Amino acid sequence: MSYLTKLCRSSSLIAFVACGAILPVIPREPALARPTSPSSYQSSCQNIKITGATLSARCRLVNGSTKSTSILIRGIENQNGNLTYS
């Protein structure tokens, strides 16, 4: 049991005031890592594939030509059937 939980179950006036001020601002769900914007590589790359922990593709440059590129994608895990990123 966390200290905050123990404090909030206490009958003292100080605990009541402290918990009343703190609890409304604590998020109910844990924060999840989310991208700041959607990925756009799918619309400008082709031959996209994942091999092990490497995402590779042939991507278009500004001048219209393409080049092969790759990036490591570490931190993706299966947690009880759900993909998560850490």
pLDDT digits (tens, 9 = 90+) for 25-35: 445 555 555 55
Helix (H, G, I), strand (E, B) or coil at 27: coil
Question: Hey, what domains does the chain have and what are their CATH numbers?
Answer: 1-28 (no CATH), 44-86 (2.30.60.10)
- pTM over 0.95? The answer is no
Rounded Cα distance, 62 and 68, in Å: 14
pLDDT < 50 regions, the chain = 1, 3-5, 7-8, 10, 13-20, 22-23, 25-26
